[in-house]
Amino acid sequence: MVHAPAPSQSRLTLLARAALVRLWLVCLSGFALAGALLALLPVIWRRAPVGRRLHPPRREARVIPLAPPRRANHS
């Protein structure tokens, strides 16, 4: 829970606190970016086949012709 600043704080103090919070957020974003790059490092290192097939493509399926349609027997 965040409380409103006390009325005794000057505008300069509030600006300094806002600058520190902004710096803290930039640091956290940097850590998050470094963590994401560190997590992706094995993919980059091994040159994993991203977007390429691992196995040779299958042969095309044969088309089996259907039997000719039969006429209905109405008796």
Q: Got the DSSP string for the chain?
A: -PPPPPTTS-HHHHHHHHHHHHHHHHHHHHHHHHHHHHHHHHHHHHT--TTS-SSPPPPPPPPPPPPPPPPP---
pLDDT for the residue numbered 69:
85
Per-residue pLDDT of the chain (75 residues; tens, 9 = 90+): 777 766 677 889 999 999 999 999 999 999 999 999 999 888 777 765 566 666 677 778 888 888 888 887 776
